């Protein structure tokens, strides 16, 4: 059998050898400038995000920019089965990719994919009902100009609303979700349930053929999924569970627009909406959300400076919910952000009062866990192992201080954004 050192060259990092690409025309198939890297691959290739059995492995995952038909192009210079390995086999890359395509529909033949691309590019139109349209300028680095605002290209985006009871949209969405495995940690496909709503974003652009306008096309750039949960006694509580804006379209303010305007406008006009929640948002989305909500709550009487310095109140909860559909947990975060902005950090008493209040909130789950263990012990349960696993007082104080410093740093970034926006 080949020794271990000879096999090390047949282990590839999935993040390094995988490239993603959105294809608008046949020329894009060979345009490396349009490629972007995945953020994760453990949901496809395992926790180690490594692939065994190939030398010089290259994986290109391509999608037709509009309808999102998929093409997998897998290349390598040598495969481990070509060596004497006593039955040790290479990982099946194509099967691993096929497993994340819900209906198993993808292409591996370039010419076939080109034909599909040519036949669908002109005719593809967004699914659902149009609910928003906006423009954004590319960043100076992405423009051919010198960064002059007037010369930077303006791009047009449209948002369409669809639901899970639309079978044609769900076929399309199942292909779009394939890219979610590369960018949303813990991602799982949505079930067919009419309570699911999808805000899908498309770029509207014109193509030019020999300097003659040849019509309008649409490219898919991302989506937000929201589930309409029941809220007692007769309301709904929408929960934002998935937000995906593909890398070529990031840093254009699209996620901010969706959260601040599109989704809020839609649900604020619906009857009997209790509030809007988010399902464990990633740090970037939580940051956008906090900036938006803090900017809104600054306009409310309950969040005036004197009220903030006097502590968290029910009026804050009520006004944030009534005016902006902000749920209680997020309202507390907004309060802490705005109070930090009002706190004189050179006034030790004022600053200490703020730190104590935030730490009390951070320590709530720890204290609840201790109380639950105490109750279980009174009922006769053996909680010795659980109690031994709890940190000591000194260790908990140190941990709590570290948590607080991290929270204050994040809040500081939000306040900086608020200052720039004012």
Residue 190 sits in the same domain as residue 77: no
pLDDT score at 385: 77
- Tokens for 196? 């699911």
386 is in an annotated binding site: no
Asked if residue 173 belongs to a domain, the reply is yes
pLDDT score at 145: 44
What is the set of active-site residues? 279
What CATH number is attached to the domain comprising 46?
3.90.360.10
- Percentages (nearest 5) of helix, strand, coil residues in the chain: 45, 25, 30
In eight-state DSSP terms, residue 139 is P
H or E element that contains 59: strand 58-64
Per-position b or e across 63-87, b if 16+ CB within 10 A of its CB: bbbbbbbbbbbeebeeebeeeebee
In this predicted structure, the answer to whether residue 1 has a pLDDT above a threshold of 90 is no
252 is in an annotated binding site: yes
Average pLDDT over residues 307-332: 97
Residue 408 sits in the same domain as residue 286: yes
What CATH number is attached to the domain comprising 211?
3.40.630.30
Asked if residue 2 belongs to a domain, the reply is no
Residue 252 sits in the same domain as residue 134: yes
207 is in an annotated binding site: no
385 is in an annotated binding site: no
SS (H, E, C) 199-210: EEEEEEEEEEEC
pLDDT score at 139: 66
pLDDT digits (tens, 9 = 90+) for 109-166: 999 999 999 999 889 999 999 999 999 987 655 444 444 555 778 999 999 999 999 9
Residue 238 sits in the same domain as residue 351: no
Residue 92 sits in the same domain as residue 112: yes
Question: Per mean pLDDT, which range of 99-108, 238-247, 356-365 is the poorest?
Answer: 99-108
Sign of CA dihedral 328, 334, 338, 341: positive
253 is in an annotated binding site: yes
- Tokens for 180? 């979610």
- Rounded Cα distance, 353 and 216, in Å: 59
Q: How many domains does the chain have?
A: 3
- Do the Cβ atoms of 378 and 371 come closer than 8 Å? no
pLDDT score at 82: 64
What CATH number is attached to the domain comprising 302?
1.10.10.390
Which whole-number Å values give the CA distances from 143 to 25, 35, 140, 153, 264, in the listed order?
Answer: 21, 17, 5, 7, 31
Burial (0-12, 13-18, 19+ Cβ within 10 Å), 8: exposed
Question: Per mean pLDDT, which range of 27-31, 45-49, 110-114, 348-352 is the poorest?
Answer: 27-31
Q: Mean pLDDT for the chain? A: 90
220 is in an annotated binding site: no
pTM to 2 decimal places: 0.88
Instruction: Give the domain range for residue 200.
Output: 129-140+153-280
pLDDT digits (tens, 9 = 90+) for 65-115: 999 999 999 999 999 876 566 667 899 999 999 999 987 689 999 999 999
pLDDT: which is higher, 170 or 140: 170
């Amino acid at each position: 059998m080949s020794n271990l050192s000879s096999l090390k060259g047949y282990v590839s990092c999935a993040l390094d050898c995988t490239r993603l690409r959105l294809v608008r025309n046949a020329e894009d198939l060979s345009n490396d400038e349009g490629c972007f890297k995945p953020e994760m691959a453990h949901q496809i290739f395992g926790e180690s995000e490594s692939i065994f059995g190939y030398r010089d492995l290259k994986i290109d995952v391509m999608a037709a920019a509009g309808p999102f038909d998929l093409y997998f192009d897998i290349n390598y210079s040598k495969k481990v089965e070509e060596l004497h390995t006593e039955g040790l086999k290479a990982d099946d890359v194509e099967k691993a990719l096929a497993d994340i395509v819900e209906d198993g529909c993808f292409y591996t033949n370039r010419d076939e994919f080109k034909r599909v691309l040519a036949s669908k590019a002109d005719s593809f139109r967004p699914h659902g009902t149009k609910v928003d349209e906006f423009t954004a300028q590319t960043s100076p680095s992405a423009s051919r100009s010198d960064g002059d605002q007037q010369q930077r290209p303006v791009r047009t985006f449209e948002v369409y609303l669809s639901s899970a009871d639309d079978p044609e949209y769900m076929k399309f969405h199942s292909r779009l979700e394939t890219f979610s495995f590369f960018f949303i940690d813990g991602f799982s496909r949505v079930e067919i349930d009419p309570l699911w709503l999808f805000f899908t974003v498309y770029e509207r652009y014109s193509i030019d053929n020999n300097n003659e306008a040849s019509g309008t096309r649409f490219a898919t750039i991302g989506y937000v999924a929201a589930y309409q949960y029941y809220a007692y006694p007769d309301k709904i509580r929408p929960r934002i569970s998935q937000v995906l804006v593909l890398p070529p379209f990031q840093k254009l303010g699209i996620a901010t627009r969706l959260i601040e305007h599109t989704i809020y406008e839609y649900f604020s006009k619906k009857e009997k909406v209790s509030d809007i929640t988010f399902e464990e948002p990633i740090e970037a989305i939580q940051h956008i959300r906090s900036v938006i909500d803090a900017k809104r709550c600054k306009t409310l009487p309950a969040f005036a400076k004197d009220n903030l310095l006097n502590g968290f109140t029910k009026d804050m909860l009520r006004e944030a919910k009534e005016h902006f559909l902000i749920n209680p947990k997020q309202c507390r975060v907004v309060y802490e952000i705005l109070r930090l902005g009002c706190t004189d950090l050179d006034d030790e008493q004022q600053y200490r009062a703020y730190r104590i209040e935030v730490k009390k909130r951070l320590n709530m789950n720890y204290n609840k866990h201790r109380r639950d263990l105490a109750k279980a012990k009174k009922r006769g349960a053996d909680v010795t192992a659980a109690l031994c696993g709890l940190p000591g007082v000194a260790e908990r104080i140190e941990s709590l201080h570290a948590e607080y410093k991290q929270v204050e740093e994040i809040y500081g970034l939000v306040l900086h954004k608020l200052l720039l926006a004012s």
